Structure 1
Amino acid sequence: MSNRQDSGQSQQELKSTAVGVGLRPEHYQDVLEQAPSIDFLEVHSENFFADAGISVDLLQEVSASTPISLHGTSAGLGSVEAVPDDYLKKLKRLVDRVDPVLVSDHLCFTWARIGGRLFHGGDLLPIPYTEDSLLHAVNNIDRIQQYLGRQIAIENVCAYIEFDQSDFDEASFIGEIVARTQCGLILDINNLMVNARNGQVSNLENFVDRYVGSLDHSAITEIHLAGSTPVGEEELLIDDHACPVSVAGWQTFERVLNVIGPKPTLIEWDNNLPSWRELLGEATKARKAQRRVLGSERSHESL
């Protein structure tokens, strides 16, 4: 199993207060035309698996001046099926090409074998928190870390269904995976809030406190922030990354920072994309939230 102290990480290191944004095709030109006033950029790994092309050239150019985080959506770390060899080869080539500050993917199910053929589910499908699921996830994470020769991080996902059988709650399940594989953890605050709202949690603050309090804070390598399109009281809230971070999202972010301290933070926005300037404005809000929390900590220390 991989060792967090010797994980083959990039020589680039992000400060704990680093703030980044997700780079999507609509903003490629903005990044090329102006040096981004941002600490790092996240891209979806699979969009850059090609051997050559405009996107490959762009990523290499951008990565020469701005740290890159590779965030996958297709590894399916919670699948019963092993991560396919072809996927691993493409990911390894990309990692070697851009020397990312972080490699990550979601703790979800995507791959299944039907009639002897391997199929991809096309979405971030939730997994049951059982001993069997734990074993499959640990095996997949160990395999990918060994293949890449470095630590990866796993992200908590939205689960729009509740399984009949569970051996763990979500936080305990994730904690056990981190302990067994020494992988990192991306704490997606909006996913946490979406699950709480859809699960009809009555007190969000208590829910977040319990969830975050049970995690290994030293394993948290990054925080994700995003917004969801508001829906009616009886409707299912979807993690669509189509809005600014909500007021409740910023409040929860500061609440989490007060518990775990500053961590590199990413603004995700994937649908109904704003202008590049507006996206950077969300990053500025994250920096201000960090400063408020850090300022409060210093005030307490001086008492």
Structure 2
Amino acid sequence: MADSQFACITETDPVVGIGWRQPHYRELMTRRSPLGFLEVHSENFFAEGGAALAVLEQARAHYPISLHGVGLSLGSVAGIDPWHLDQLARLVQRIDPVRVSDHASFARGRFNGAAVHAADLLPIPFSHEALDVLCANVEQVQTRLKRRFMVENLSSYVRWTALPDELLLEEPEFLSTLAQRTGCSLLVDVNNIYVNALNAQINGAGGDPVQHGLDWLDAMAPTDVGEIHLAGHCRVNDAHGEIVIDDHGSRVCPEVWRLYQHAIGRFGAVPTLIEWDTDIPALEVLLDEAARAQAVIRAASAEKT
């Protein structure tokens, strides 16, 4: 990373990882760049065998692996799909990851008596009833996996309206209560916080999105946070209006870096992931973003000494 303005990650201090996607499989295994961990999407490795699982096992010999899921549907009233949970449990046993996570969302339900899956991360209301459902499902997952699980805050593009006399919690309180009741850990996606604040501003809520993010982070207990995600987003403005999309397709923006600095100052040297899932660039770009995150952690540690 000779062209980077940031010091590279060294063998002695990495706690920052990258999302390991297929275009970089061969190059990373050849370079063995110093990284804290690699994250993969759990569902891509559910098959009994094959090339994908063989590559993951090769990576596991050199890097800690974090399994990040998108299909458990933790907020579903229909409950956890037993087959999906069985496949995840088998993968966890095989890979022995450092962390396992999914989202505070739902995708699974019942329609005309049959189970259906939306193949998307749909938001759940921050109600006490929804919290009970989420807690029960997270506890089921932790019992099956025999380990502490992580739950990520969601970027959402629709909003729930409270029923008459229904009290909705603020998202940080909702997630903090989840952690307290289940013992799970929280995966804080800083970009998702900022994207949601931008979309609220577009929809007329007003306020400063960065300040919203700072307040959001201040509402979380440091002991509950097990990992942080950083990513890029994009703005879409078409005939249907304007919206900000968490597309994981660009570098982390300055405002999200500011929120990340605050998060590290508050939570400490939390393992941090650089996510990049669309328009995937050269591996060097991801390593450069990872080095920048590591520089933030180093600077925060230096301030405390």
TM-score (normalizing by structure 1): 0.90
Instruction: Find 2:82's aligned residue among 67, 80, 85.
Output: 85
My pick for the range that moved more, 199-208 or 138-147, is: 199-208
Shift of 1:17: 5.9
Paired residue secondary structure (2:234): coil
Change (3 A) 1:264 1:16: farther
Q: How far apart in 2 are the matches of 1:90 and 1:293?
A: 39
1:238-263: CA deviations, max 9, x gaps? 00000010111111110221222220
Pairs aligned (count) = 284
Shift of 1:65: 1.4
Percent identity of paired positions between Structure 1 and Structure 2: 37
- Listed as ranges, the gaps of 5+ residues in structure 1 are 1-14, 299-303
Q: How far apart in 2 are the matches of 1:256 and 1:17?
A: 17
1:40-77: CA deviations, max 9, x gaps? 00000000000010001011111011100000000011
Whether the 8 Å CA contact 2:235–2:242 is kept in 1: the answer is no
Aligned-pair Cα RMSD in Å = 1.6
Aligned: 1:216 with 2:221: yes
Q: How far apart in 2 are the matches of 1:113 and 1:192?
A: 30
Aligned: 1:164 with 2:165: no
| Residue of structure 1 equivalent to 2:57 | 60
| Residue of structure 1 equivalent to 2:145 | 148
| Residue of structure 2 equivalent to 1:254 | 261
| Residue of structure 1 equivalent to 2:73 | 76
Q: How far apart in 2 are the matches of 1:209 and 1:57?
A: 42
Q: Which residues of 2 match residues 112-261 of structure 1 at below 5 A? A: 112-165=109-162, 166-200=167-201, 201-231=206-236, 235-261=242-268
Shift of 1:204: 2.9
Aligned: 1:267 with 2:274: yes
Q: How far apart in 2 are the matches of 1:232 and 1:174?
A: 31
1:159-213: CA deviations, max 9, x gaps? 2122111520111111111111000000000000001111115223432232122
| Residue of structure 2 equivalent to 1:43 | 40
Q: How far apart in 2 are the matches of 1:224 and 1:272?
A: 18
Q: How far apart in 2 are the matches of 1:77 and 1:139?
A: 9
Q: How far apart in 2 are the matches of 1:44 and 1:75?
A: 12
Change (3 A) 1:157 1:107: same
Instruction: Find 1:30's aligned residue among 8, 27, 39.
Output: 27
Q: Which residue identity lines up with residue 173 of structure 1 in the other structure?
A: F
Q: How far apart in 2 are the matches of 1:26 and 1:83?
A: 32
Paired residue secondary structure (2:297): helix
Shift of 1:105: 0.2
My pick for the range that moved more, 227-236 or 256-265, is: 227-236
- Listed as ranges, the gaps of 5+ residues in structure 2 are 1-11
Whether the 8 Å CA contact 1:17–1:262 is kept in 2: the answer is no
Paired residue secondary structure (1:241): coil
Q: Which residue identity lines up with residue 108 of structure 1 in the other structure?
A: S
Paired residue secondary structure (1:36): coil
My pick for the range that moved more, 159-168 or 54-63, is: 159-168
Paired residue secondary structure (1:237): strand
TM-score (normalizing by structure 2): 0.89
Shift of 1:293: 2.0
Whether the 8 Å CA contact 2:214–2:259 is kept in 1: the answer is no
Q: Which residue identity lines up with residue 147 of structure 1 in the other structure?
A: R
